[in-house]
Structure 1
Amino acid sequence: MATSGEEAIAQRILRLTDIAQEPLEFLSPISGYEEMPLVSLEETVEKLVHILPTVQSYAYVAKQRCKNPADGLTQDESASIMLYTMGWEPLDKCLYVVLNATLRTANR
């Protein structure tokens, strides 16, 4: 079993080597999302469960850790950032990796 230090190193390596996955062709920007209404973190992650079955558990943990954000963000905003940066096992199934892989596809 990997130690927390080994897991942190593995996560850093994954993020650094992630650049190799960038598409060589230019993808057009995603538009229209700024017109979408803001919804709660819980409502947002419900739509991701079919891709990331444990995302709700991680969202709950992130929200619990962000009860009183000192950064001027709402609890959901702060927890969303934390959720995006969290690594979980297996690392290739964490939100950061899956979201970035999806954003690199032409059909996103």
Structure 2
Amino acid sequence: MGQSSSNRVVSRFTETNAPPNNVALPTDYLNEPLTTLEGSLKNMHSRLDDLDKHIINAKAQFNSSIAHNLTRDEAAAIYLYTLEWPSNGISLYTIFNQDLRTKDNSKIKHWLPFLKLLMTAMNKMPSKQLRVYRGLRGDVSKEYTEGLEFVWASATSCSRSINMACNFFANSNGECVLFQIDVQNGKDISAFSHFKLEEEVLLRPGTRFRVTKKPQLEKIDSMSVFVVHLQEV
């Protein structure tokens, strides 16, 4: 669990959030009963390979003494969110976030039990006010004009380390964007992540942001990247 995933082609830190939108977090999850990790993903077996095996492995990472009084299922939900499926499989976070970004309730409804478990875990953790970073391949900087307020519907994975965030697109061909985000409610999930060295901070689905300055092309560790400055609002 003490590894980094910076050699991956795509990761939670570079999956697309664009374009900026105002798709709100579905509040139906609040009415869901809190269930086990197995129960929260009972409708996902056809979409995620070897799900039972990964659930067992996730729960095996935690004993009865867990930070912030998370239950074993809550901690394992975060771990499973950070886990990379083998190269021939699609990871949970990919499908979860893709579906949250749609307005298709027929897809979102199957995630509500897992969303309830994940949000319950995050709500138990202290909120951090800090600066974090995430990357995105391709130049979408023109979509993030100064003063724009928008929502990212999906869960947003960031790193406390600018170098870690940049590593995820260091070998990318073409233009890249680095989001520098000043957050108010960041959740440091390092203790629960499969990749502890990534210094991951997770932002809730449906978090609202404001672009605080015009995106600029900047040099970071010999790379030229467009930097988009965001503030959580």
Answer yes or no: same fold by TM over 0.5.
Answer: yes
Q: Does structure 1 retain, via aligned residues, the 8 Å contact 2:48–2:89? A: no
Identity of paired residues, percent? 26
Deviates more, 1:94-103 or 1:25-34: 25-34
* Structure with greater contact order relative to length (CA < 8 Å, sep ≥ 6): 2
What's the CA shift for 1:80? 0.8
In 1, Cα distance between the equivalents of 2:6 and 2:89?
A: 14
Q: Does structure 2 retain, via aligned residues, the 8 Å contact 1:41–1:76? A: yes
In 2, Cα distance between the equivalents of 1:92 and 1:36?
A: 28
* Higher strand residue share: 2
Q: Does structure 2 retain, via aligned residues, the 8 Å contact 1:92–1:98? A: no
Q: Deviations over 1:40-72 (max 9, x none)?
A: 111122211011132221111000111224211
Q: Give TM-score scaled by structure 2 length.
A: 0.39
Listed as ranges, the matches of 1:89-104 within 5 Å are: 89-90=86-87, 93-104=90-101
* Higher helix residue share: 1
Looking at CA atoms only, which structure, 1 or 2, has the larger radius of gyration? 2
Corresponding residue of 1:36? 32
1:25 to 21, 27, 32: 21
Listed as ranges, the matches of 1:9-88 within 5 Å are: 9-11=6-8, 14-18=11-15, 20-71=16-67, 72-88=69-85
Q: Which aligned segments of 4 or more residues in structure 1 are displaced greater than 3 angstroms?
A: 10-13
Q: Give TM-score scaled by structure 1 length.
A: 0.78
Q: Does structure 1 retain, via aligned residues, the 8 Å contact 2:49–2:89? A: no
SS in 1 for 2:27: coil
In 1, Cα distance between the equivalents of 2:33 and 2:94?
A: 25
Residues paired across the two proteins, number: 102
Q: Which amino acid aligns with 2:42?
A: E
In 2, Cα distance between the equivalents of 1:69 and 1:94?
A: 28
What's the CA shift for 1:13? 5.0
SS in 2 for 1:46: coil
